[in-house]
Amino acid sequence: MRGCGTGSDMEVYEQLARIGKAVSSPPRVQLLHLLCHGPRTVQVLADEADLSVANASGHLHVLREARLVESEKDGLYVTYRIADESVGRFLMALRTVAESRLLELDGIARAITEATAGIEAMSAGELARRLEAEELLVIDLRPAEEFAAGHIPGAVSMPAPELQERIRELPEGATIVAYCRGPYCATAAQAVRLLRDRGFNVVRLEDSVPDWQALGMPVVAGANEDS
């Protein structure tokens, strides 16, 4: 009789290691994170991740070989998306382990907290509870394409670059909950500071749409109803 960890067991570990290898590169983790917020072409991914198209294509090939992403060609363009929701859950689990083991992430989190000192923060679970009990205005600071791919029900698309010009659309006296791509998103920190400085009662949602989904909460696809 073979001992544990030999023969076919090692074949299992080899397959598991394929996933580990696929996410062993920071750019590939970043690309996965972006794709968790909606499908994108190679060109768009390269721009957002500050990579050359050739470099982005190489990283995406590795992710596709590990079956973490899927691609579809339309003419000259190739669009990528995550293979399914389990990929998003895996990425969140990876983040959770890193947060519990790596002190360096604490420093990044503290910088975000200091940048938004005096501004309330809440989790996705707390937002779900408060939406049942009170009226909140939820704004999505991500690009319009990400909003259309999936957003928290009732949220209004207000991409961060447009916030300065559209701030007059926000009703005075409303409690505003702003979210972007998660706890380490500097865009959200900048936006909530702007809103606070303009006198709004603003709350920063620490979590992302994938975090919201992981709680079993629904997401809605499509643009703003009034757009």
Would you name the residues annotated as active-site residues?
Answer: 180
H helices present in 68-102, as ranges = 85-101
Q: Output DSSP code: residue 209.
A: H
What is the spatial distance between Cα 16 and Cα 105, in angstroms, rounded to a whole number? Answer: 25
Q: Output DSSP code: residue 171.
A: P
C-alpha torsion sign, points 74, 80, 85, 86:
positive
Residue 152 CA: distances (Å) to CA of 15, 55, 141, 191? 35, 33, 12, 18
What is the spatial distance between Cα 136 and Cα 155, in angstroms, rounded to a whole number? Answer: 10
Q: Output DSSP code: residue 160.
A: G
Write the single-letter amino acid at 97. V
- Give helix 26-35 / helix 53-65 axis angle, nearest 10°: 80
Total Cβ atoms within 10 A of residue 35: 24
What is the spatial distance between Cα 98 and Cα 108, in angstroms, rounded to a whole number? Answer: 12
Residue 130 in tokens: 């408060």
What is the spatial distance between Cα 139 and Cα 180, in angstroms, rounded to a whole number? Answer: 9
